[in-house]
Amino acid sequence: MAFFTDRAAAAIADGKREFLELGRRAGRFPSASTSTDPADATAEISVWCSNDYLGMGQQPKVMAAMRDALERFGAGSGGSRNIGGTNHVHVQLEAELAALHGKEAALIFTSGYTANDGALTVIAGAVPDCVVFSDELNHASIIDGLRHSGAAKRIFRHNDAAHLEELIAAEDPERPKLIVLESVYSMSGDVAPIREVTEVARKYGATIFLDEVHAVGMYGPRGAGIAAREGLAEEIDVVMGTLGKGFGTAGGYIAGPAALIDAVRTLSRPFVFTTSLPPAVAAGALAAVRHLAGSDAERTALHRNAKLLHGLLRERGIPFLSDESHIVSVLIGEDAACKKASALLLERYRIYVQSINAPSVKTGEEILRIAPGALPEPAEVEKFVEALDSVWLELGLPRTAA
């Protein structure tokens, strides 16, 4: 056994030396706890890079729903969705997600990653001769799903609807076409030109699959996302989301036409061949979806904080990639300096912002990906920027003209 594992480890290390080295240099993550126990050494760290953007992971109704489901149904689901692992909470959650997006049906997966991978494998793979148009910055889970589908793929330049049209126009008009994009991009924080993309889709008869992972809960009426905010929800054929970010728990989903959802339910291997979400997790997600459908307070606080952060960074000439969303990526553009800035924030100010280095971003495009979230008060955002400003000064990082 040792012989095999040693050989496997050596082979992996050989092939992936550069990747492993990057991983090693990335260092370890601090244990970021929100515990209020004074004996807990991590209690004082304030986290400014959490994807629990709206604080739903600590929302009392969400936690109560989870506790209640835990008492009633136990810790796990007991099986895969088709063999004993479907609880009425799963069914209810799917119905409410479908309603949130104005679609006929929805299907939940154990993560957003498997939702993209599992759904795109089926959707792009089932239609003979399908050609897929994919934004160049699409998430790994989209890339994997499209690879697994075996469909032909064309990559359009990031957020470039004109390039998308150029590629689509070059294809046989009879060929089935699928456009796959995100609404809010996870690393750059910029927002897709959804109106232009829907116009191209309509002109060429293409189907749209939209990943709203960084938008559901945070944008649009009832938290239905960016397409809904733009009044374009009906133009989107399949919307995909996560329960692990704005909705504070874990899991992923797609929503769309009933026949298509049924096909994915039947054929998607990551849906069929895995233990379903624990009912308590589904119950927590359901409580979060319901809460955010009825409350704008968290969204208002999130956008207030993002706007304040944009303004303060601009005043100080600290460069960031986009002011279109709540994801504020401060550009450092140098591997060592980026890690150093993250380390200094932690050591000096007990502020945790993870540095994002290659391979998550290209070398030379290293960022501090800040997600202020809905929870901080404006005074805390100001204090955060002061801390970042001191680090900026100490490291002699370049500023943009005010």
Site string for ligand PMP, 5-44 (x = CB under 6 A): ----------------------------------------
The DSSP code sequence of 197-244 is HHHHHHHHT-EEEEE-TTTTTTSSGGG--HHHHTT-GGG-SEEEEESS
- Going from the C-alpha of 168 to that of each of 8, 154, 195, 202, 288, the distances in angstroms are 43, 9, 16, 12, 39
Q: How many residues bind ligand PMP (CB under 6 A)?
A: 13
Site string for ligand PMP, 129-158 (x = CB under 6 A): ----------x-x-----------------
- Nearest to ligand PMP of 113, 271 (CB atom): 113
325 in contact with ligand PMP (CB under 6 A): no
111 in contact with ligand PMP (CB under 6 A): yes
CB of residue 113 to ligand PMP, shortest distance in Å: 4
Annotation marks residue 16 as catalytic: no
Extract the runs of DSSP E, i.e. beta strands, from 17-129. Answer: 46-47, 105-109
How far is Cα 60 from Cα 308, in angstroms, rounded to an integer?
Answer: 27
242 in contact with ligand PMP (CB under 6 A): yes
The single-letter DSSP state of residue 352 is: E
- Nearest to ligand PMP of 218, 344 (CB atom): 218
Residues 6+ apart with CB under 8 A from 334: 364, 366
Query: Cβ(40)–Cβ(33) under 8 Å?
Result: yes
Residues 6+ apart with CB under 8 A from 393: none
Of 113, 352, 384, 392, which one interacts with ligand PMP (CB under 6 A)?
Answer: 113
Residue with CB nearest ligand PMP?
112
To which residue do tokens 């479908």 refer?
98
Q: Which of 177, 245, 307, 339 is catalytic?
A: 245
Beta bridge partners of 328: 370
How far is Cα 176 from Cα 68, in angstroms, rounded to an integer?
Answer: 46
CB of residue 369 to ligand PMP, shortest distance in Å: 11
Q: Which span sits near ligand PMP by CB under 6 A: 109-117, 266-274, 302-310, 335-343?
A: 109-117
CB of residue 127 to ligand PMP, shortest distance in Å: 22
50 in contact with ligand PMP (CB under 6 A): no
Q: Which of residues 165-224 bind ligand PMP (CB under 6 A)?
A: 182, 186, 211, 213
Q: Which span sits near ligand PMP by CB under 6 A: 7-15, 110-118, 224-232, 388-396?
A: 110-118
Neighbours of 37 (CB within 10 A): 9
Closest CA to 354 of 113, 20, 40, 47: 47
Would you tell me which residues interact with ligand PMP (CB under 6 A)? 111-113, 116, 139, 141, 182, 186, 211, 213, 242, 244, 252
- What is the set of active-site residues? 245
